[in-house]
Structure 1
Amino acid sequence: MMFSTLKGRLVFIVEDEYFLAFELKDEFLAAGARVLGPAPSVEQALTLLASEPRVDAAILNLNLGGEMSFPVAEALLSRGIPFVFTTGYGDGALDERYPQIARCEKPTNMQALHAALTTALTP
């Protein structure tokens, strides 16, 4: 699958489901993107994010091992990094602070995720 808008960009993957995390990583690498992560927890995500001065976009799972990823969302927003939430939960799980952030349902549809990331990356 070709995600041309991601070529050369650093995509941060925050996902606790091992196989999905590495499927995402493989898809983005195949598209020519660089990948940071995957980070399986809020703590690891914040540490990785702090270690990288420039991140172009992020995929953020809403629930990381029972912990909501809102602290990571806040860190991404504070740095102006566009991101997309992925979740198996309904609309009610998203905090009202994030009406502008796209949400992709799990199981993850790679084409829908690409479309949402492309929209997020478009100024």
Structure 2
Amino acid sequence: MLSRMASKPLILLVEDDPEFGAQMAERVDELGYGVMGPAVTLEDAEALVAQRAPDAALLDGVLAGRSSAPFAEALAARGVPFAFVTGDDRIAGLAKALKHVPLLTKPVSEKVLAETLAHLVAH
């Protein structure tokens, strides 16, 4: 799913839980952003980014047992700001190593989501 209007910042969602991904897509849309995805695999996410670079991204830290860190590094190399959204403690060490990367813990409050997205698109 790729929905956007020219004036809306475009947010890539990468989430392997379809229900949570759909909820996040709805919440991001309600906050006034365009939504790319949600991509449920890293390959899906890479395909979406190949079509168009997002303005920012929200990444599940671990997808089907695979770390999203390599994809996050590729986004960073392209200048795309991102945050990790995870319920998995294995990503916590990565977020500490990448001090500039926000780490949101599931479930994410509306306030934290809104503040994080505003911060990401401002940079």
Question: What does residue 30 of structure 1 align with?
Answer: 30
- Structure 2 CA distance for aligned equivalents of residues 93 and 107 of structure 1: 19
Within 2, Cα distance between the matches of 1:40 and 1:86? 14
What is the TM-score normalised by the length of structure 2? 0.83
Q: What is the aligned partner in structure 2 of residue 3 from structure 1?
A: none
Residue 95 of structure 1, CA deviation = 5.5
Give 2:19's aligned residue: 19
The CA deviation at 1:55 is: 1.2
The alpha-carbon deviation at position 29 of structure 1 amounts to: 1.9
Q: Corresponding residue for 1:72?
A: 71
Shift of 1:31: 2.8
Name the SS of the counterpart of 1:94 in structure 2.
helix
For residues 1-123 of structure 1, what are the structure 2 equivalents within 5 Å? 8-52=8-52, 54-90=53-89, 92-94=92-94, 97-123=97-123
Tell me the equivalent position of 2:3.
none
Structure 2: where are the runs of 5+ without partners? 1-6
Kept in 2, the 8 Å contact 1:42–1:71? The answer is no
Q: How many pairs are equivalent?
A: 116
Residue identity over aligned pairs, in percent, reads 32
TM-score calculated relative to the size of structure 1: 0.83
Q: Secondary structure at the match of 1:38?
A: strand
Whichever residue aligns with residue 120 of structure 1, its letter is L
Residues 116 and 29 of structure 1: CA distance in aligned 2, closer, same or farther (over 3 Å): closer
- Residue 4 of structure 1 corresponds to none
Q: Which runs of 5+ in 1 are unaligned?
A: 1-6
